[in-house]
Amino acid sequence: MSEALTGTARQNPSRIRRFIKKGAGSVVFRSQAYRRLLLFKHFIASSYAAMRAPHLFDDVQTYCMFVGHNKSGTSMVGALLDAHPDAIISDEAEALQFVRAGFSRNQIFHLLLRRSHKEFHKGRVTARSLQSYSYLVPDQWQGRYRSLRVIGDSTAGSSTRMIAAESGMLNQLAGIMRGVNVKFIQTIRNPYDPISVMMVRGRRSFENAIGMYFSHCETLAQLHQRFDEEQLHMVRYEDFVRESELQLAELCRFLGLSADTDYLKACASILHDTPQTSRQMVQWDARHIKQVAREMERFDFLKGYHFEE
């Protein structure tokens, strides 16, 4: 990348993101050749890091993976867990791509640690293309750790799609993570909100967004049949915001972490007072509201949600 373009990125990061995602640069940065080159770069860097510090992750007991839908609270929950002194949770590192490519466990852990550190220095900002929000927790441990016992990645949407598309992915993950517990967190939000965001960000139709949302739900229902409550923990975004300290403490217990009062209060202090909604971003009609309501009836984890709350 030229020095001129690098300078532009430093001065206006939103402009470079548009260049990469939607501008002329998207042709290059979304190409398979570029993705393979980037994967090779990650492989070399993580191999070197693992060779230099082979025992860095000896105390890790649990690998934490998120499943669910985009814009359902995964970045929020992941950022607060990353603030725990004994946990590292990276944001949107797409760890399953490294599992698929055959990276070792320590290679993946090094990449997640590096990503967590990088996100901390960027301010743990999320939803940059919509209404950006920082999940930076003051005076806590984001991007670093005291004693590393839990490590993971908050990528949910693409991970769920990959699990659905590749039947052997979870077995491959279990093989690579042999020696540590693998636990899943499913974040849930009123379906009308993530569906609305899918339509705005992806320029999807009602039919397309609704179909994709409930396709993910079918994969999640299969995971519920495969795992018990010791392996899969559900978090409702709305409940988490309203009772953040209680919900976060329960989540820490699920992961085998203790949670002191200062940590819980610091995390709660950065959240909105009430759950935010996104369904007003599009003009919902009665037909599609009823369609989503009918589809929700098929899934126990969506019970209790309505368009009007």
Residue pLDDT, tens place only, 27-49: 555 688 888 999 999 999 999 99
Q: Please name the amino acid found at residue 71.
A: K
Domains observed in the chain: 57-302 (3.40.50.300)
pLDDT at 290: 98
| Structure-token pair, residue 286 | 């009665």
Positions of the chain with pLDDT under 70: 1-30, 127-131
Residue 116 near residue 88, CB atoms below 8 Å: yes
Q: Please name the amino acid found at residue 92.
A: E
Residue pLDDT, tens place only, 102-141: 999 999 999 999 999 999 999 998 865 556 789 999 999 9
Residue 209 near residue 240, CB atoms below 8 Å: no
Residue 115 near residue 90, CB atoms below 8 Å: yes
264-272: long-range pairs with CB below 8 Å, 24+: 266/83, 266/137, 266/138, 266/139, 266/140, 267/80, 267/83, 267/137, 267/140, 268/244, 269/137, 269/138, 270/134, 270/135, 270/136, 270/137, 270/138, 271/76, 271/241, 271/244, 272/241
Q: Please name the amino acid found at residue 30.
A: R
DSSP 5: H
pLDDT at 131: 66
CA distance 185 to 99: 18
pLDDT at 220: 97
Give 3-state DSSP helix, strand, coil % of the chain, rounded to 5.
55, 10, 35
The position carrying tokens 């000896």 is 58
pLDDT at 28: 52
| Structure-token pair, residue 112 | 């997640």
Alpha helices in 227-254 (DSSP H): 237-242, 244-254
Q: Please name the amino acid found at residue 139.
A: D
